[in-house]
Amino acid sequence: MLDKTIRKVLLLGSGALKIGEAGEFDYSGSQALKALREEGIETVLVNPNIATVQTSEGIADKIYFLPVTPPFVKKVIEKEKPQGIFLSFGGQTALNCGVELYRSGFLQQNGVRVLGTPVQSIIDTEDRDLFVKRLDEIGVKTIRSHAAATLEEARAAAGEIGYPVILRAAYALGGLGSGFCDTPAELEAAARKAFAFSPQILVEKSLKGWKEIEYEVVRDSYDNCITVCNMENFDPLGIHTGESIVVAPSQTLTNDEFHFLRKKSIDIVRHLGIVGECNVQYAFSPDGEDYRVIEVNARLSRSSALASKATGYPLAFVAAKLGLGYGLFELKNSVTKTTPAFFEPALDYVVCKIPRWDLAKFKGVSREIGSSMKSVGEVMAIGRTFEEAVQKGLRMIGQGANGFVCNKPYKTEDLDWALRHPTDTRIFAIAAAFESGYSVDRIHELTHIDKWFLDKLDNLETTYRELEACPDLGSVGRELFLKAKRQGFSDIQIGRVYHRPEEEVRTRRLALGIRPCIKQIDTLAAEFPAATNYLYLTYNGTKNDIIPSYGSHTVIVLGSGAYRIGSSVEFDWCGVGAVNTLRKRGWQAVMINYNPETVSTDYDSCDRLYFDELSFETVLEICSVERPYGVIVSVGGQIPNNLALPLARSGVHILGTSADDIDRAEDRGKFSSVVDHLGISQPRWQALTTMAEIEHFVDEVGFPVLVRPSYVLSGAAMNVCYSLADLHTFLEMAVEVSEEHPVVISSFIQRSKEFEFDAVADGGRIVAHAISEHIEYAGVHSGDATIQFPPQKLYCVTAAQIRRVAAAIAAELHITGPFNIQFLAHEGRVKVIECNLRASRSFPFVSKILKTDFIDLAVRCMLGEHPAADTVDAFELPYVGIKASQFSFSRLNQADPVLGVDMASTGEVGCIGDNFDEALLEAMLSVGHHIPQGAILISSGNAIQKADLLPACQLLDQKGFTLYATEGTSRYLNENGIPARLVEHANVVELIREHRVDLVVNIPKNFTHGELTNGYRIRRAAIDFNVPLITNSRLATAYIRAFCRLKPEELPVKAWDEYKPL
Amino acid sequence: MKRKRATLLLEDGREFPGWSFGYDGPAEGEIVFSTAMVGYPESLTDPSYSGQILCVSFPLVGNYGIPDEQPDEQGLCTRFESERIHVRGLVIADYSEKYSHWDAAKSLGQWLQEQHIPGICGIDTRVLVQLLRDEGAKLGAIVPAGSPAPASFPDPNLENQVAAVSCREVIRYGSGAKRVVLVDCGVKHQIIRCLTARGIEVVRVPWDYDFNTMEWDGLFISNGPGNPALCDVTVEHLRKALAGDKPVFGICMGNQLLSRAAGGHTYKLKYGHRSHNQPVRQCGTDRCFITSQNHGFAVDTATLGPDWEPLFVNMNDGTNEGIRHKTKPFFSAQFHPEASSGPVDTEFLFDEFISKL
């Protein structure tokens, strides 16, 4: 039963999105808050991630945009005095913070009870030794290491464990000296090598090629226990589950194996005393004889979010209720609404999760994947065959694939190597292997991927060959066509076989009477009638589960797809906001999206959810059934935006700005003429196809120039070049320049300020706007820049120019709905650099700071309501918001952590303060900075940058900080009267490794990526040894000033609603 | 591989076109569905499916093939629930001819072929499940392309399915201090294993055998197919046993026969419970269990005699999941504590039974 003594609960969020901790925690936290609210319990949320849905109005009663760290959370607890705290909905960040508060006795002293799983159980799962000990108590096998200091000891350990074994050098970074050994001879060789790196080696049983299986387990305080879902990794053990393609339910386990592991999971969860949700990961030998528990996560996780979406069972919601004292038998299945939450979902479809990587964005990073996460997002595809699900998924990740087959050629010098070494593209290496005639057995040998999966993939290759055998599209018979569709071939994919456009394939398909069916996800495989609105499309069906009847009162909102660098939770906030407004205004809101980490794919948040592709084919099929009044393409980022034109041409009503006007903004050439026509200034640019043209243009505009290739061979997509040599290197190494693939060159203005203009317009008239200001000069991607709103250093005349230009563009493009323009301001003149007729990354930030919901306004404009113009004037706000970026370089071995014109951050925070310093400090602490206490390493680039940093260095000196500096910088500082200790380049890494400095300021000379130099070593050392790093002199100066003027303990603890516009 | 067409024909004339796999011949029976996602070798050999065509709602079937059967020293199957396939036909969506498992010896299709059981794939099983759910279990037939449709659809529930699958003579298993007579209404081998593994001597007798003439410490009534109302002989024998005080335990059909012996009525459920995820609650407690189930008939709790009470209740639809005597050591479960296939959470009921012996 509900514990009535709990009236106020504090929930810890997970902060900025980072690799390994992403949108899934917005979803879990939002669900938990909803569960609490339903009980009339007051909720307090600490989460600096301002772009999330959970930090929106109406989700929690009090929201603190503050770091999820003990000092801040303590103050919030002292102020709010909650009776309970939830630690398991905010990932590792919340868990670590909570455990620390518990261990220090603070929670007990303040009468705060940890709800759900007891902290001791959490500690038992987090501490490796305790964990092994606890599972030993019930005879459950874990993976354990035997330490050996001599060859003899290593041999003995291997003998005891049994071959094959894996050797790891202890205390060595990056897996140096590790290797697999099948025999004592191999062990001896490997051990000798490993001892060269380290005095101790660890011997573990090799589980190479074992299956990896997970169970999601729920337990209530009455000891009732269920497993909601199990999942099987497509990739065998050795690849982090977050990096692996995953299917649910498991496909290659027999009944005995499935239930053996299920029973173990329940035994473990009972023994550990979990209350709520928990995830158990196993290694399972392919001969079915042996297993090991890899780990137990005593909290909501990426996998639990996936399991919730895969089954329709709302794990986080239920876990929150169980934490309040409910039994599973007292809660209802939220899909059927009649049957209890105590049940295990039965699926009648298969789901396939595929990670999304953005490794190409990072120079120097290895493409190999393994035991640590590198992916930045994921997709979930649903089908009634594995082939259908996996092909959908491969399209959804948005890396240009049409499916498993019919893609651009896979380039590799050594296919065997590509199969043996898992990378972000290995699945396409498998496709290439089939094409080159490799057998399933051979691929299995090289990859250890279960043959069941490979056979299914082989089916796709077979179908491709059957299609290829038909002379043309018209000769593909209904049977083969249907077979291909049932295996998930898209219209585009079939078209590629015959070099025919999608439209033609579609016409042929319709002529053959082949349409997808709409099926429901109902948790019980249709055993009970369910009025569920959770839907997907499949060609493996003969009848729709539902026939929507709302028609003219339905609006479809297109979601944002997989999180990636440049498009993540902020667009989910926009999508959810659009759906909320539609429903409030009496419309039926339909969402299409396929990202399992999101709130928008919570079937509770809309009237109907299609968990499916955001492709022309799929959206059009859904439109043909839903017959909506219109489709909103402007709140989900670039993916839906790109669909505007094709959908409009097929007769779909695009709400808001017309597709043709969207195209006028998207098409660089068309937009340039619009801007010229309006007499607005823009940096000079040209699309060029030969080196001669490029050199000629560069001669005219001068260096530096911004180079944007349309076809990237490797490395970054954009680059700034400072010399002809730079330009040649970049163009020759990394991109293709041709008639077909022109390169866009623009003049790049240095030391120019950059402003974001986010706005909503109605019929070409702006009804709300926000101008925010980058702290860094232009040249740092707007997604990486630190942004202040309202702007703190904006000339009135510049503001007026920005407004006037924006108004002209809005009128010219007849904008109705959200849009964003990026401006440069240099020497009193503004230039337009980009314009998107859709919501931008900064929409949630400015909406929440201004307390004017731009999405709500935009949707109402699109619905033709003509909402009244907003009256809040940003210049009247008595507080400041700072948006800072979160980087995940520590996860990306060897990547150069330098900022440039291509975006690199994986997430962001937004904090509010009564002044700039407060807000900036909160934001910097929220993205992992620690205020330096003693010494700082300064290593600044060219003379101008050295001069830029001088005042900040003086301040540091006055405040008693010790400054270390590299050669040029120390000379410069000393010459300017600031004592700085010289650090030789040879010693600098050591200085950082030993944590003798607690901040590294390293300013690269320019934005070229070629700086693989001393600077790189400094930056990388800072990342690898976890010393905060700043690489921009403007940000460094602002930050240094802030912490010199203000101590972190002086920062006020104020909730969002305590900051009021005048 | 060239595929051959087949049709699933319902008694009302509706047709589901698909592809033949396994044995290419006709089959008739009652069409029922199961939502279990694993365990097809166990389900297909479960005698409780006698007379039925099974539709598996989970679309991907055959993934891990079929193991080679090696009966153990007691003559019990180790991988299956009986010596042969008991379903009359199998209806699925996506058949995996290519299987992958270390323990597999043949494909599902080969196995069906060997045992002359037709399968049909390529069916929208979800639509079929919805139809059965809304309209109730139906008679139907798998008709291979080119074969005539059956003239009529005899109802297997009118035949005594228990008599068809029960053993013909007394068989003994295991040894131990305590002896349990097991009344075989179509027993799954896992039940026998659950008893012998606990050091019990099991005497398996045919369904209509009068076990009251034998010496035993406990009585077990097994699962079995079809309508419990056709097993009055067993119920009569059972009534005599209930006059005594020796422990009685029943599973599935055993629950229904024990209830009938206790004066209760049984009735046909609209579409039955066949899955691995049925939630049951122990009456009067907060203890809940996920159970494996396979039954088309149920006990009407309200009609039980005054000395009896419900032991478990289904949390989805409130139907009876077990009964017990208020004072004597008699109890039964409608679900399958022996699992196989399905979750093993209630195996402790065997321990409870044995502790009473």
What is the per-residue DSSP string for A679-700?
T-----EEEE-SHHHHHHHHHH
> How far is residue A776's CA from residue A1037's CA, in Å, rounded to a whole number?
10
| B133 in reach of chain A (CB within 8 A) | yes
Contact B133 A386 (CB under 8 A): no
pLDDT higher than 60, residue A1011: no
Contact A528 B316 (CB under 8 A): yes
Q: Model confidence at A959, in pLDDT bands (50, 70, 90)? A: very high
Are residues B183 and B202 in contact, defined by beta-carbon separation less than 8 angstroms?
no
Residue of chain B whose Cα is closest to the Cα of A540: B124
Per-residue model confidence (pLDDT) at position A1033 = 94
Per-residue model confidence (pLDDT) at position A734 = 65
**DSSP states along A22-80:** -THHHHHHHHHHHHHHHTT-EEEEE---TTSSTTSTTT-SEEE-S-SSHHHHHHHHHHH
- Which of A259, A342, A542 is opposite residue B344, by nearest beta carbon? A259
Contact A543 B124 (CB under 8 A): yes
Question: Quick one: which H or E segment has residue B249?
Answer: strand B248-251
| B105 in reach of chain A (CB within 8 A) | no
Reading the block at residue A999, the tokens are 């901040």
> How far is residue B161's CA from residue A975's CA, in Å, rounded to a whole number?
102
pLDDT higher than 80, residue A1029: yes
Closest CA to A11 of A37, A51, A47: A47
| B101 in reach of chain A (CB within 8 A) | yes
The residue among A196 and A126 whose pLDDT is bigger is A126
- Which of A263, A327, A346 is opposite residue B286, by nearest beta carbon? A327
> How far is residue B304's CA from residue B234's CA, in Å, rounded to a whole number?
18
Contact B286 A224 (CB under 8 A): yes
> How far is residue A362's CA from residue A778's CA, in Å, rounded to a whole number?
20
Closest CA to B344 of A137, A267, A297, A327: A267
pLDDT higher than 80, residue A885: yes
**Cβ neighbours around A1013 below 10 Å, total:** 11
Per-residue model confidence (pLDDT) at position A886 = 97
Contact B63 A452 (CB under 8 A): yes
Per-residue model confidence (pLDDT) at position A715 = 55
| B65 in reach of chain A (CB within 8 A) | no
Q: Work out the end-to-end distance of chain B between its first and last CA atoms, rounded to an integer number of angstroms.
A: 57
**pLDDT > 90: percent of chain A:** 81
| pTM of the predicted structure, to 2 decimals | 0.96
> How far is residue A1031's CA from residue B82's CA, in Å, rounded to a whole number?
71
Amino acid at the residue A386: F
- Which of B42, B60, B126 is opposite residue A519, by nearest beta carbon? B126
- Which of A226, A251, A527 is opposite residue B35, by nearest beta carbon? A527
Q: Which sequence positions of B are flagged as catalytic?
A: 252, 336, 338
Q: What is the DSSP letter of B158?
A: G
Q: Which residue of B16, B32, B37, B95 is the best one to mutate when testing the A interface, meaning the one whose CB has the most A CBs within 10 A?
A: B37
- Which of A224, A263, A347 is opposite residue B58, by nearest beta carbon? A347
| B130 in reach of chain A (CB within 8 A) | yes
Amino acid at the residue A218: V
Per-residue model confidence (pLDDT) at position A6 = 96
Q: Which residue of A221, A256, A269, A535 is the best one to mutate when testing the B interface, meaning the one whose CB has the most B CBs within 10 A?
A: A256
Per-residue model confidence (pLDDT) at position A174 = 47
Q: Which residues of A633-722 form beta strands (DSSP E)? A: 685-688, 705-709, 719-721
pLDDT higher than 60, residue A490: yes
Per-residue model confidence (pLDDT) at position A173 = 47
Per-residue model confidence (pLDDT) at position A1012 = 55
Closest CA to A614 of A630, A593, A628, A633: A593
pLDDT higher than 80, residue A1005: no
Amino acid at the residue A1005: K
Partners of residue B275 in chain A, C-beta under 8 Å: 346, 525, 527
Q: Give the Å distances, CA to CA, from A373 to A97, A568, A708, A889.
A: 22, 17, 29, 11
> How far is residue B15's CA from residue B143's CA, in Å, rounded to a whole number?
10
| B14 in reach of chain A (CB within 8 A) | no
Q: What is the DSSP letter of A142?
A: B
Q: What averages of pLDDT result for each successive group of 10 residues across chain B (357 residues)?
A: 89 96 96 97 97 98 94 90 97 97 96 98 98 95 95 94 97 96 98 96 98 97 97 97 97 98 96 97 97 97 96 97 98 97 97 97
